[in-house]
Structure 1
Amino acid sequence: MTRKDAMERARAWYDDDTEGYFPTLARHVAIPTESQEPSRLPELYRYHAEETRPAFEAMGFEVEVYDNPVEGQGPVMLASRIEDPSLPTVLGYGHGDVVRGQEDRWTKGEGPWVLARDGDKVYGRGTADNKGQLVTHMGAYKAVLETRGSLGFNAKFMIETGEENGSQGLKQLVAENREAFAADALFASDGPRADRNRANLTLGSRGALNFELSVNLREGAHHSGNWGGLLANPGIILAHALATITDARGRILVEGWRPETVPGNLRDILRGATAEKGPGAPEIDPDWGEPGLTAAEKLATWNSFEVLAFVTGIPDAPLNAVPPTARAVCQLRYIPETKGSDIVPALREHLDRHGFSMVEILPPPSGNAGGFEAARTDPDHPWAKWVEAAVGRAGGTPPVVTPSTGGSICNDVFAEVLQIPFVWLPLSYAGCSQHAPDEHILVPLIQEGLGLVTGVYWDLGAPETRYRP
């Protein structure tokens, strides 16, 4: 039996209309695992009980479902198959939770909880982020087991149900059960490709810190004719405060938010890289952000500041009055060279220096409170090199290697708690509408991805290609 045999078996499972990829994914999508909605907590437990646990147990994994140490947050499942303690142990990861369904805003498919195909697009909440990608790994395990009779390596796979709410409690849970989650390396799939036209590997993720800027000047609004020009307007004050954080083209101006150095090997592997987003994606604004960087470099090697929401007064029913307050929910995506603990102090000093001491820096709304630390695997690490070679063997061409995805995920758990290298093989694309209505995956990318993941797992278990930590 060969790698090709395993990949063909995976393709046969993909095509099975009864128990294959799409029937499996349809069951996953049908469970509304909205982690940002407290009322959905029972659905997060049901997802493991009805779908993930039985599937892994059928493949010979021992399964444990851990309650989250943070009250109200979803459970974490760990499936383990230890074939030989002398073999390498590779950890996988997926998240079974999704963002809010936004049922009334879908214009394609049949809404968020029904899998629906239209040509090469398959719609449903979680198809891209992340149920469609973790199901691919489950199918790859199955194909290798059925082809070889064993994996040939030790496998662990964790599925959390709180990633879309900032993975609250995950770091604590893993730290308290470190031996159970221990591994030599992580291999997983999440997020979109940076270059849709070739297989991609990402070696890390930017951190994400959300916060609120607030100007609260007085109780109640006051007639703009009687008081306009006499009372300070909090909306104007906050707009000017925000204008000091970046210039008019989005270039960050806060000292401490601008990385002093970027490792040279990151620039080297990004040389010639593109940020091709695929059909349906918005056109990139080439003059936005840090000057002198390519689009790929802006995502992987620099920080970005965003205003996620801004409100003053009552926008849908404005009064002829000076509003008393203004609020903006903001976010900094940052690379590992920026320390997360320095972000808010640097902003406080910046605002005070520019005369905006009245602008408070507050925690974000509870539904947007989660955050992630930045983390990255060194591109020269043996695990990064091994996965790059394995994906190249499976796909026939070398993958594009990106030092970091522009988004954020719990890589700090792997880097800081488990202290293992991590490599991601994203199977979606940037135009997939994740976190928005009409979320979907592309059939060609999933088909290709299933073959690549199967090839990696096959090579992990083959003596001649096995990774040796």
Structure 2
Amino acid sequence: MRPDHSPGQGETAPRRTAPNEIREVVTRESVTRAAGEFVRSQTFFDLLATRVAERTESQAPGNGLAAHAYLAEEIAPELTTLGFTTTIHDNPESDEHPLLIASRIEDPQLPTLLLYGHGDVQFAHASQWSEGLDPWVLTRDGDRLYGRGSADNKGQHTVNSLALKTVLESLDAPGTAALGYNVKVLMETAEEAGSLGLKAFAAAHRAELDADLFLASDGPRIAAEYPTLFLGSRGALGFKLVVHDRDGDHHSGNWGGKLRNSATVLAAAVNSLVDGNGVIRIPTLRPEDPPASVLEAVAKLPEVIEAGSPEVDFDWGEPGLTSAEKVFAFNVIEVLALDAGNPAQVVNAIPGRAEAHMQLRYVVGTDVDDFESKVRAHLEGQGIHGVDVVFEHCMPATRLDPNARVVAAAAESVRTTTGLEAAIEPNLGGTIPNDVFAEVLGLPTVWVPHSYPGCNQHAPDEHALISILQQGAEIMAGMFWDMGQSPDDWFTSKKTRPDAY
């Protein structure tokens, strides 16, 4: 029911139940159980099947209509029935990637929760899926739900909205009952295209997105069996090293020893940044020592060995660090691609040009300002000349202090719901647009993923596990319930909080 809707003839106005009366009728356990049971229902399957069928590939030109339809036909009606007002906005940087803001305001003086999700998916690559599977048709096989977006991110944001719906319905009056806090939702349709326009949009709509806590679900758990919280992400900075000494290649017999070999110079440049054991050699791209709270959180993470995963090279990377510290608390420089000569048809010629595509995955405490100048100065200082450093893109690193009060509240909520200890990652090893929420909007950020590493997101045969979605619904319902019961544990003013790095 919309907030401005009045009961018509034959309708009965919803009854607003007093909070103490509610607690006598329903319990936290009954609400979380109901949310989980719904995920196993045919109704949930049909809803997710409808959403998976929407071909919202955000990298595909001309897909703006599908993106708009997803927001207008799937998300907006669902939220409207829960008392939200919804608006679909144009993307400031793309005509094909609209965004939606929805608000459910009980009282402007109450704290506000901001939820997030994305309705777009990666390219389907339908011909590469296993026999009998179609990326646009949700298919159940045991515990698995196959379909593009089932894990990333349609299944996850659908679970969250249904968990909120379950809590509201337990209060006996969806759209009017008192949660004890306000809720806003931001839904984008360009996450798989690098969240195109999201930062500019958030900056332009700060007032509409003003909140006290950011909570969302995306990405995988550390492993299927471990409920997980992560509080930010490593940054990702892409760059190229280009050596262009001359046009064309020249005979290595006639000219070898007289001409600079661009490939040799490039190899030296790469080795100057990262050695043959994966250790970073440029001091300015090594992070500051992480805070004790980060190291303590990482030390508690479980050792996970996923079936089918490659064997870890323990002698690779920064010496003295555990595998978890290397991923969650340190930086890495990766060589993603090299180009020199023609490996398919090698000739006796000195390459006149060579290029390396590189990536820096980095944590908070790494200064990447003026990146190109810093790398050039390092190379020149090592006696390596004629290397052009080309900055390509960067998504910043973010991290909430694992000792923040809201993290303890979220972990306790997970424990109460599941009986399990949550794995708390200070930041993902990968990268998401968390800087938009942490830096542009200035919010504490907590992510509760409902997928797992083996879900094949972005790949053929993407799938969600029903068991994780069910547990995820229970966890989120418990959190939505707990926020109303103990708001001081969850909502910390972004203007005074000291716990973000």
Could you tell me the TM-score, scaled by structure 1's length?
A: 0.90
Residue in 1 aligned with 2:5? none
Q: CA RMSD in A?
A: 2.5
Take 1:346 and 1:107, find their aligned partners in 2: how far apart are those partners?
47
Deviations along 1:319-375, one digit per CA (max 9) or x if unpaired, are: 6654443222221111110123254333222222233332222244xxxx4x31111
Q: Give the C-alpha shift of residue 305 in structure 1.
A: 1.5
Q: In the alignment, which of 110, 119, 122 is matched to residue 96 of structure 1? A: 119
Q: In the alignment, which of 29, 33, 38 is matched to residue 4 of structure 1? A: 29
Which segment is superposed worse, 38-47 or 207-216? 38-47
Take 1:305 and 1:72, find their aligned partners in 2: how far apart are those partners?
35
Seen in structure 2, the aligned counterparts of structure 1 residues 277 and 373 have a Cα distance that, compared at 3 Å, is: farther
Q: Which amino acid aligns with 2:304?
A: E
Identity between Structure 1 and Structure 2 (%):
43
1:193 aligns with 2:225: no
1:213 aligns with 2:241: yes
Deviations along 1:293-321, one digit per CA (max 9) or x if unpaired, are: 11221121111122222223445566665
Report 1:279-298 matches (<5 A). Answer: 279-298=307-326
Residue aligned with 1:186, SS: strand
Which segment is superposed worse, 459-468 or 43-52? 459-468
Residue aligned with 2:63, SS: helix
Deviations along 1:147-203, one digit per CA (max 9) or x if unpaired, are: 223360211111112222322321221111111001110111111122443211111
Contact 1:193 1:200 in 2 (8 A): yes
Seen in structure 2, the aligned counterparts of structure 1 residues 461 and 272 have a Cα distance that, compared at 3 Å, is: closer
Take 2:343 and 2:178, find their aligned partners in 1: how far apart are those partners?
58
Report 1:228-307 matches (<5 A). Answer: 231-276=259-304, 278-307=306-335
Report 1:45-444 matches (<5 A). Answer: 45-72=68-95, 74-107=97-130, 110-148=133-171, 149=173, 150=177, 152=179, 153-222=181-250, 231-276=259-304, 278-315=306-343, 321-364=349-392, 369=393, 371-444=394-467
Q: Which amino acid aligns with 1:7?
A: T
Residue aligned with 2:100, SS: strand
Take 2:76 and 2:305, find their aligned partners in 1: how far apart are those partners?
35
Residue aligned with 1:428, SS: coil
Q: Which amino acid aligns with 1:253?
A: R
Seen in structure 2, the aligned counterparts of structure 1 residues 322 and 423 have a Cα distance that, compared at 3 Å, is: same
Q: Which amino acid aligns with 1:166?
A: G
Any gaps of 5 or more consecutive residues in structure 1?
A: none
Residue aligned with 1:64, SS: strand
Take 2:332 and 2:298, find their aligned partners in 1: how far apart are those partners?
18
Contact 2:37 2:470 in 1 (8 A): no
Seen in structure 2, the aligned counterparts of structure 1 residues 167 and 224 have a Cα distance that, compared at 3 Å, is: same
Seen in structure 2, the aligned counterparts of structure 1 residues 275 and 232 have a Cα distance that, compared at 3 Å, is: farther
Which segment is superposed worse, 185-194 or 103-112? 103-112
Seen in structure 2, the aligned counterparts of structure 1 residues 258 and 146 have a Cα distance that, compared at 3 Å, is: same
Residue in 1 aligned with 2:471? 448
Seen in structure 2, the aligned counterparts of structure 1 residues 283 and 230 have a Cα distance that, compared at 3 Å, is: same
Take 1:145 and 1:57, find their aligned partners in 2: how far apart are those partners?
13
Take 2:132 and 2:384, find their aligned partners in 1: how far apart are those partners?
48
Any gaps of 5 or more consecutive residues in structure 2?
A: 1-25, 493-501
Residue in 2 aligned with 1:25? 48
Take 1:468 and 1:230, find their aligned partners in 2: how far apart are those partners?
67
Q: In the alignment, which of 27, 35, 40 is matched to residue 15 of structure 1? A: 40
Q: Which amino acid aligns with 2:472?
A: G
Residue aligned with 2:307, SS: coil
Contact 1:195 1:400 in 2 (8 A): no
Contact 1:238 1:326 in 2 (8 A): yes
Seen in structure 2, the aligned counterparts of structure 1 residues 355 and 400 have a Cα distance that, compared at 3 Å, is: same
Residue aligned with 2:283, SS: coil
Deviations along 1:420-453, one digit per CA (max 9) or x if unpaired, are: 2111112222222223333222232222111111
Residue aligned with 1:336, SS: coil
Contact 1:214 1:325 in 2 (8 A): yes
Seen in structure 2, the aligned counterparts of structure 1 residues 229 and 441 have a Cα distance that, compared at 3 Å, is: farther
Take 1:30 and 1:136, find their aligned partners in 2: how far apart are those partners?
17
Q: Which amino acid aligns with 1:268?
A: E
Seen in structure 2, the aligned counterparts of structure 1 residues 36 and 212 have a Cα distance that, compared at 3 Å, is: farther
Take 1:72 and 1:354, find their aligned partners in 2: how far apart are those partners?
47
Which segment is superposed worse, 308-317 or 134-143? 308-317
Deviations along 1:229-273, one digit per CA (max 9) or x if unpaired, are: 654443333233212221212111111111232101111222242
Residue in 1 aligned with 2:19? none
Seen in structure 2, the aligned counterparts of structure 1 residues 306 and 16 have a Cα distance that, compared at 3 Å, is: same
Seen in structure 2, the aligned counterparts of structure 1 residues 413 and 397 have a Cα distance that, compared at 3 Å, is: same
Contact 2:241 2:356 in 1 (8 A): yes
Contact 1:91 1:158 in 2 (8 A): yes
Residue in 1 aligned with 2:58? 35
Contact 1:174 1:181 in 2 (8 A): yes
Take 1:167 and 1:237, find their aligned partners in 2: how far apart are those partners?
36
Q: Give the C-alpha shift of residue 28 in structure 1.
A: 2.4
Structure ID, larger Rg = 2
Contact 1:255 1:346 in 2 (8 A): no
Deviations along 1:211-242, one digit per CA (max 9) or x if unpaired, are: 22222233234566665665444333323321
Contact 1:459 1:466 in 2 (8 A): no
Take 1:120 and 1:429, find their aligned partners in 2: how far apart are those partners?
13
Q: Give the C-alpha shift of residue 107 in structure 1.
A: 3.6
Deviations along 1:49-73, one digit per CA (max 9) or x if unpaired, are: 2322222223221111221211456
The alignment of Structure 1 onto Structure 2 pairs a total of residues equal to 462
Which segment is superposed worse, 282-291 or 138-147? 282-291
Take 1:464 and 1:376, find their aligned partners in 2: how far apart are those partners?
22
Deviations along 1:383-415, one digit per CA (max 9) or x if unpaired, are: 222212222212223312221111111222222
